[in-house]
Structure formats: structure tokens, C-alpha cells
Amino acid sequence: MRITRLHLKKLLDSGWQSWSTGYDERNIGRTPICLYPSSPIDRVNAAKILVGTQISKPKKPIKGWCSYYAFGTKIHESLILNQIQALTKHNLTAFEYILLDEGWNTAWGDWLQYDKEKFPSGLKRFANKIKTLGFKPSIWFAPLLVSPKAKIVVSHPDWFVRKNNTFIEGFRMTPFDTYLPFKKYMLDIQNKHVCAYIDQILSWLINECGFNLIKLDFLYANHFAPDRTNEEADRNLRQFLLKTKKKYPNVYILGCGSPMIPAIGAVDGMRIGPDTLTTYVQSIPWFGKYTNQRRFKNVMKNLITRRWTSIFWNTDPDVFMCNDGYGLSHEKLIDFQQHILKLKGNIFLGDDMTKLSEEKIHTYIKPFLK
């Protein structure tokens, strides 16, 4: 397929990056809150290098299970193996990609150091164990963001985006990031040593450990670097994604939190909306269910309005969840299920599969196998 100016404009009208719900997102209810300063038509002009570009047909959509929503960062070997056992027990082996989300490493940024208490047999051996059980090991990481507590902050301070010798916040989720504990610094993707470091991480995860899918998250980070234009940030990200896809053609590359235009033809799958549920407020009475319902509306909006983007990649609506306690009615779950099916993209489950009843498996999960 050849990219046209209309493709780019329509894509931008749906939101500048993959969590967005629309282009005009400057209010505090959107994430990340800071938007490109230019207008949609300006952004199309800035991306004119893509007009006329030929891209290949996306890979076949995939199915899998993701660890984040049921367990957050509290993952470990036996927990993941229990999920595989439950998938096998319920004849759900078509959900073959087992995605280790946040929590497998010691700190954001120190991606070459996995948590040895959680994975005592080693990440390589554990990934191989997943393969021997008939599934495909998959892993998440945020290549551009670093925890202030990470070792590379001390060992390589020159790798980071800074202004007036101050590290720039890369998380950029709310207007109050300075006062919140989620602070993350951003690696400078224009730095050749940073590029070499990210290449080393990818080589270790793919060539040595044997992961079949890499989920690259928070790819918008360098677009908030104060020393570069939007066009430069787009070009830097696109070069990185194209290089990764070319080097690892047999690995499924899943983008998340990514500016849309530079990822065209450079990823296999793309998240197309916000997280399915707000995991960190689940335990708060009333408020957890309320925020879940609001988040669910945003997810549904993205499923409905972004369906056409499958011409660029496999659309990924995040995870489907049906366990009790989320505040979602049977009717809403069926509606969610049907929209995911109509999307004809990736399908990931997010529940603790060991706690799903046969009835829920039959009603909500089995239809995804048809």
C-alpha cells in the first residue's frame, strides 16, 4: 500500500499518539497532556517524507495473555506458569504469546538486569520453559525512560536529555508530574551511545533470551525534548523502529504510547487507546469502579473510531478482562467483546486465568477463538 496525504491527516485526526482519543487533547484529562504545538495540517506537512512511501501488509494478528492487569509488577515464575497451565486446561492455547509486562527487571533503564528473586532460574531459561510448554515468550520494556534510581543515571549521566544541567521529565502524564513519585528521565535517542545501549538490550532479549515479541512502551518520550523539533523527534523514532523491525523480522514488534505517524510500516502491532482499566485504584471502594467505567468509555471510543488503522498495523485494543469486581456489566463486556472481534486485530487477555469460571470462559473468552 502507498501512503497518501489523506492517510496521514485521517490518522492525526484520531490522535497524535497511540493512547490518544482525538487530536485536540490539551485538557488535563488526556494523557500525555502536552500536545504538539502545531496543527493537524502542519503535522501532515512535517511528515511529507512519508507521502508516497510503500508499506507492506501487516503480519497476521496475534493472541496472547498479559501479566500487568491482574498482577501489576508482582510477577514471578510460578505465577506465570500457573497462567499457562490454566490456558492449557481450558483449551486456550491459541492465546500463545505470554507477555511479561512491568516488574521483570530491577529498575526502569537497567533493562539488562532482571529481578533474580522473581526469576531465579534466569530469564533465558524461563523463556525457554514457556516455549517447551507450547507458548511464545514475550516481554515489555520502555526503551526511552529511566527511573531516577537506575544505575545508568549515575554511570552515564551524559546519555540523558537535560536542560540547564537538569534532567527532563519524560513520563509526562499529568500537569503535576513534578510532585508525583512516578518520575522518569528520558534517554536521548540522538546519542549514539544510547542507541548502542538499546541495541544491546534488544539483542540480549531476542538473540540470547529468545523472546518472540517485544512490546516497546512510552515511545512518545523524546517528543518532549526541549532541544528538537517535532519533525526531528519523528525522524529519530522512525529510524529506530525501522532499524529494529529490519534487524528482527521474525520478532513481533508491538508499539505502545507511540506517536502514530513515525510508526507507520515500522511496527507489527500498535496499541490504539488507553489502558483497559485503571489498575492502581482497584482496591479503592466505589472510586475504583467509577474510574474503570470512565476508562472503559475511552477504550470503546478508540475501538470504534480507530478500526480503519489496520491498514498500517495490527490494531491492539489492550486487554480483555471479565473477572468480577471491575464494575462492568454483562452487557458492557459483551459489547467490548464484539468490538474487539470486529476490530480483527490482536487479542490479549488480562485476567488471572486461574480464577475464571467455566461459565466466564465459555461466555466471554471462547468466542475469541472462532
Looking at residue 52, its amino acid is G
Q: What is the pTM of this model?
A: 0.93
Q: Where do the H-state alpha helices sit in the chain?
A: 5-13, 40-46, 68-71, 77-89, 123-132, 151-155, 192-203, 230-247, 287-305, 330-343, 358-360
Report the pLDDT value the prediction gives residue 9, as an integer from 0 to 100. 78
Contact in structure between 128 and 122 (CB atoms under 8 Å): no
Integer Cα distance of 273 and 125 in angstroms: 33
Pick from 255, 248, 160: nearest CA to 209: 248
Contact in structure between 9 and 44 (CB atoms under 8 Å): yes
Contact in structure between 273 and 318 (CB atoms under 8 Å): yes
> How many other CB atoms are found less than 10 A from the CB of residue 81?
15
Q: 3-class SS at 2?
A: strand
Report the pLDDT value the prediction gives residue 178, as an integer from 0 to 100. 65
Q: 3-class SS at 351?
A: coil
Report the pLDDT value the prediction gives residue 177, as an integer from 0 to 100. 66
C-alpha cell, 338: 464484539
Report the pLDDT value the prediction gives residue 26, as an integer from 0 to 100. 47
List domains and CATH numbers for the chain: 62-369 (3.20.20.70)
Report the pLDDT value the prediction gives residue 176, as an integer from 0 to 100. 66
DSSP 296-320: HHHHHHHHHHSGGGGGTSEEE--EE
DSSP 67-87: SHHHHTT---HHHHHHHHHHH
DSSP 176-192: TGGGSTT--EEB-TTSH
Report the pLDDT value the prediction gives residue 288, as an integer from 0 to 100. 72
Report the pLDDT value the prediction gives residue 283, as an integer from 0 to 100. 66
Report the pLDDT value the prediction gives residue 34, as an integer from 0 to 100. 45
Q: How far out from the chain centre does Cα 224 lie?
A: 18
Report the pLDDT value the prediction gives residue 45, as an integer from 0 to 100. 67
| 145-146 vs 185-186, strand pairing mode | antiparallel
Instruction: Output the tens digit of pLDDT for each of the chain's 370 residues.
Output: 898 888 887 787 777 788 776 544 444 444 554 444 444 455 666 667 788 889 998 999 999 999 999 999 999 999 999 999 999 999 999 999 999 999 999 999 999 999 999 999 999 999 999 999 999 999 999 999 999 999 999 999 999 999 998 998 888 766 666 677 778 999 999 999 999 999 999 999 999 999 999 999 999 998 888 888 878 888 999 999 999 999 999 999 999 999 888 999 999 999 988 788 776 666 677 777 777 777 777 777 777 766 667 889 999 999 999 988 777 889 989 989 999 999 899 999 999 999 999 999 999 999 999 8
Looking at residue 152, its amino acid is I
Burial class of 215 by CB neighbour count within 10 A (0 to 12, 13 to 18, 19+): buried
- In degrees, rounded to 5, the angle at the alpha carbon of residue 160 between the alpha carbons of residues 106 and 115 is 5
Dihedral sign for Cα atoms in the order 298, 255, 76, 62: positive
Report the pLDDT value the prediction gives residue 46, as an integer from 0 to 100. 62
- The residue assigned the cell 536529555 is 161
